[in-house]
Each structure stands twice: as C-alpha cells, then as structure tokens.
Structure 1
C-alpha cells in the first residue's frame, strides 16, 4: 500500500467544513422526521380507518423505495413539474425528513402501543381529554421506551446523509471527492472522512446512552 496522507493534510480543514453542512442536514431532517413520524403514528392508531390507510401507504412507499431515488426525484424531478429550482440543502432536508418520518412512525407507534392500556383506560375514566392524555401521560412513557430505537434511527440518518453528495451538496463526502480529484488520490480523503463519520457516530452513541441512563434514574 502506498498511502500518503501528507498530500491531503492541507485540504483537511476544507473537508471538515463539510461537517457543518452534514450536521445541519441531519439535525433539521431529524426534527422534521420526528414531527412527521409522531403525526403518522397517531394516524395509525386512530379509529378513523382512512387516516390509518394513508399512514400505512405513506410508510410503505418511503420504506419500499431507495432513499437516493427519493432525493433525486425531489431535487431533479420537482423543478421539472413546478418550474422552480430547489437548493441541494432543502432537497436533502425534505427527502431525509420524509424518509425518516416513515421509519420513526413505526417506532413511535410501537412505543405508544407498548404503554400499559390501563393508563389509557384510567385517563378516559377520569375524563382526561384525548390530546392531554397523549401529550402528558402516554407519549412521555412511550418516548422513554423507544429512546434507544430513536437514537439508532438518528445514527442511521447521520450515515445515510452521505448520499446527498449525488446532488452536489458540499458535505463531507462531496468535499472528500473534490480533494481526491485534485490530488488524484481518493483513498486517503475518503478514509479520513470515514474516520470523521465513525467518531461522529460514536459521540452520538455515547450521548444516547447518557440520556438513557438519566431517564432510567428518573424512574
């Protein structure tokens, strides 16, 4: 192996600037995905069949098609239909958020249904409104139970965000590819980016475990 990291050392700050883009995309997409996932989960457990059908169909479509396809449809396809261009950042946030929402909806639904039914029955017997019951009683308990699964989804989203390079967003992967083209050496910058992603995932894992321990102490 003929590896020479010295030739990409001057470009490492340039590559690391892409970390900000990556984190911004992941953070906004995760918030959008969580909000959408919560809404879809409530639709799935609702007594109105039309809402459940819509939520199940949505989940099936976004879980049954590749993320990169969804991203390219939003970035390249929507401008063709609407006549308006969309930025790479916005396209990434929309695609990742919609995709993540489908996965989170199943996690949140399972968490809500795992809460003891006695909690719901007691709340209804006491005349607690449905919205207040879900927001103050059921959902907090469900959130504690599904926290590890949500952290796994967040970590997966962090890694999957690398596909944004296909639409030219200046994230970690894109910058590593550019440096590789300039130096005619792709292995070193890609290996460096791989290390950055690995460290990022390890940090998120430790944060998730710390939050989980803190919630456990609150029992």
Structure 2
C-alpha cells in the first residue's frame, strides 16, 4: 500500500478527529475566557487574599505540564471523589483551567497597562467601582489584550 493510499483510506478518521479537536479547543478557550476575565479583575481590584489565591492558581496551572494535569485529574482527583466522567470532559476541563490561567495573566496585564488614572477618572464622575470596571476599564483592556489573547489559541 502506498503512503498516499493510506492517507486516502484514513481520511474519514482524520476528519472525525479534527471535529473532536476543534470541539475540545472551543470548549477550553471558552472556559478559559469565562474564568480568565473575572480572575484578572479579582486579581487587580479584589481583596488581597483573593489576589493571592488567584496568583497561586495561576502559578500551579502555568507551571505544571498538561500531561501531569491530565493524569492528576483523570487518575487522581475524579476517582478520589468518586466521579466517573469521560476522558473528553476531563480533557476539556483541564485545558480550560490551564487556558484560564494564561488568559488571567493576559487580561491582568491589559488592565494594569491602562493605569490608575482611568479608574480615578471614572470614580470622579460618580461611578461605582463595578460600573467603572465594566464600563470603562474592561472595554479598553479587552482591546489591548486582543493581540496577546490571539496567541492563546496555539497553547
């Protein structure tokens, strides 16, 4: 059998695998985005103990290799608590949690790049802290974070 013929015969499996891969990446990036933005806001504007906890989370999930995290969750944490879940779910969860750690740092850097003057100006206009974050800080920070966030996809 020629190599070209082998590729042609396995093409349906390749397409099926691409669908699973795109689904996994989509879930992981979505989970990372949903967790990353609030954690970045909490790290910058939250209480000190919240910032320390988020920094520890980011340190752990950015420091451990993907394979170690996958083994830890698949063979350690989920069997320990007695949950029997699929490998796809654990893979999406672990990659999403790892993506959240990276995205937290991306968005934290974008928020810090704006400077304290933006928050002070919003507060001087009578906005609450939450109004200032959601109306002034985050829209600008998301625009700044976009180039860095686009590099999150290959991870």
TM exceeding 0.5: yes
**Pairs within 5 Å for 1:21-32:** 21-32=20-31
Structure-2 residue corresponding to 1:141: 140
Structure-1 residue corresponding to 2:33: 34
Q: Distance in 2 between matches of 1:70 and 1:151?
A: 23
Structure-2 residue corresponding to 1:94: 93
Compared with structure 1, are the counterparts of its residues 121 and 79 closer, same or farther at alpha carbon in structure 2 (3 Å cutoff)? Answer: closer
Shift of 1:47: 4.9
User: How high is the TM-score relative to the length of structure 2?
Assistant: 0.92
Shift of 1:146: 1.1
Greater gyration radius: 1
Alignment RMSD: 1.4
Q: Distance in 1 between matches of 2:28 and 2:154?
A: 12
Q: Distance in 1 between matches of 2:66 and 2:22?
A: 18
Aligned length: 154
Q: Distance in 2 between matches of 1:136 and 1:47?
A: 17
**Pairs within 5 Å for 1:107-146:** 107-146=106-145
Q: Secondary structure at the match of 2:83?
A: coil
Q: Distance in 1 between matches of 2:12 and 2:115?
A: 51
Shift of 1:101: 0.8
Structure-1 residue corresponding to 2:83: 84
Runs of at least 5 residues in structure 1 that lack an aligned partner in the other structure: 157-219
Q: Distance in 2 between matches of 1:133 and 1:118?
A: 12
Shift of 1:129: 1.7
Structure-2 residue corresponding to 1:176: none
Structure-1 residue corresponding to 2:152: 153
Shift of 1:53: 0.7
Compared with structure 1, are the counterparts of its residues 47 and 92 closer, same or farther at alpha carbon in structure 2 (3 Å cutoff)? Answer: closer
Q: Secondary structure at the match of 1:154?
A: coil
1:10 equivalent to 2:9? Answer: yes
Q: Distance in 2 between matches of 1:95 and 1:47?
A: 25
Residues 88-112 of structure 1 deviation map (CA, whole Å, 9 limit, x = unaligned): 1110111001111111111100101
Q: Distance in 1 between matches of 2:10 and 2:46?
A: 56
Q: Distance in 1 between matches of 2:108 and 2:7?
A: 47
Q: Secondary structure at the match of 2:127?
A: coil
